[in-house]
Chains A and B, each alone.
Chain A
Amino acid sequence: MAKFERSDIFLVTGASSGIGRQTALRINELGGSVIATARRAQKLADLKEKATHPDSLFIEEKDLSKDLDDLPKWVLSLSKKYGKLKGVVMAAGVCQIFSLKAISIQKTKELFDINFFSNLALAKGFCDKRVNIGSGSSMVFVSSVGSMVGEAGLSEYSASKGAINSAVRSLAMEHGKLGIRVNSVLPGIVRTEMIEMLGDIYDQKYLDEMSAKYPLGLGNPQDVADPICFLLSDEARWITGQNIVIDGGGSL
C-alpha cells in the first residue's frame, strides 16, 4: 500500500467533490500533505474538516478556467508557500452532453479550457525545477474511459479527455530524465456529483442498465483514488506515459 510522509506535498485540483475530493482525503490519510484546490471555498472547508490530518491539508480557492497562462506562476507560488511538490493530481473537469447539432464551438472551447488547457498549464508549472522535488515526482491526470469508448453526445467531452491521453505520452518522454513520471487514469462511470448533476440523462434507469453491464458494477470515488495514490507513490517508480483504465471492466 502507498505510504507518504508529511514532507511529501501534493497538489490536488477539483478537490471539492468526487474523485478529486476522495484523492485529497486518501493522500492525507496515507500521511502526505495536500494542497486542495477548487472554486468552492465552503466545500474545501468541509473537506478540511473531514481530513484525517487536517493540519497537513491546506486549502486554496482557485478558478482554473481563468488566466490559464498565469497558472504556472500560481503553481510556483504554491511551492514557495508550502514547499516543493512531490506530485499533482488534476481532477478538475466538467462534462457537457450535446449532440453534434447542438454543439457550440465557443462552449466547446470553454470545456477544453478546463478539461485540457488548464491541466496543461498546471503541468507546465509543476515541471518547473523550482516547483517539484525532481526524482520521485509524479503527475496524474484524470481522463475518462469515454476517451476510448464511443458514446452518443460525448464528442466534445471525450475529445478533451483524449487530448490528455495523447499529451501524457509526450510529457512522459519529455520529463522522464528529470525524474518526473506522467500518467493518467481513465475512470468508467463513478457515482459522483458530476453524474448526479447530469441526472436528467444519467437517470436511475440508465445507471441500473450500466451497472448490469459492468462486471464489477459502477465505481465509487475511492475505487479511483487508491490507484491514483499508487501512481503518486514510489511503488509506481517504473510506470510512466500510461493511460490506465479503471472501470470495473465496463469497457471490456
Chain B
Amino acid sequence: MKKSELLEEIKDALQREQPIDESMQLSDSEEWDSLSTLAIISFYDRLFSKTLKFNEINKVKTVSDLVNLASDKLE
C-alpha cells in the first residue's frame, strides 16, 4: 500500500471532512475518540494482518505515529 492510500484510510476511520497530513495532532482532534480508535485497530488488522495493542495506540499523538505503525507494510 502507498502512504497516500493509508492516509485516505485513516481519514475514513476518523470520518473527517477535511484532508489530513502526517503532522496533524490526533490528541487535539475531536475525531480521535474510542470509536475511531477501534476503527483504526480493525483496518490495520484487515489490511495489514497487524494486531495493534492498546498501549501502542495510546502512545499515538499524530497521524505520523499511526503511519509509522505500518511503515514495514508500505511501498
Does B17 reach chain A (CB closer than 8 Å)? yes
In the complex formed, the residue of B with least CB distance to A73 is B12
A128 to B15, CA, bound (A): 6
Does A129 reach chain B (CB closer than 8 Å)? yes
Main SS at interface, chain B:
loop
List of A residues within 8 angstroms of B16 by Cβ: 130
A73 to B11, CA, bound (A): 12
Q: How large is the interface on B (under 10, 10 to 19, 20 to 34, 35 or more residues)?
A: under 10
List of A residues within 8 angstroms of B17 by Cβ: 130
In the complex formed, the residue of B with least CB distance to A178 is B35
CB distance from B34 to the nearest CB of A (A): 11
**What is the interface size of chain A, counting residues whose CB is below 8 A from a CB of the partner?**
5
List of A residues within 8 angstroms of B15 by Cβ: 128-130
A6 to B17, CA, bound (A): 23
Tell me the total A-B contact number using a CB cutoff of 8 A: 9
How would residues 100 to 131 of chain A score, 1 for a CB under 8 Å from any chain B CB and 0 otherwise? 00000000000000000000000000001110
A130 to B31, CA, bound (A): 11
How would residues 1 to 21 of chain B score, 1 for a CB under 8 Å from any chain A CB and 0 otherwise? 000000000001001110000
Residues of B within 8 A of A (CB): 12, 15-17, 31
A94 to B17, CA, bound (A): 35
CB distance from B67 to the nearest CB of A (A): 21
CB distance from A137 to the nearest CB of B (A): 14
A73 to B31, CA, bound (A): 18
* Sampled A-B contacts (8; CB under 8 Å): A73-B12, A76-B12, A128-B15, A129-B15, A129-B31, A130-B15, A130-B16, A130-B17
In the complex formed, the residue of A with least CB distance to B11 is A130
In the complex formed, the residue of A with least CB distance to B30 is A129
A207 to B31, CA, bound (A): 52
A128 to B12, CA, bound (A): 9
CB distance from A122 to the nearest CB of B (A): 16
CB distance from A225 to the nearest CB of B (A): 31
List of A residues within 8 angstroms of B31 by Cβ: 129
A76 to B15, CA, bound (A): 10
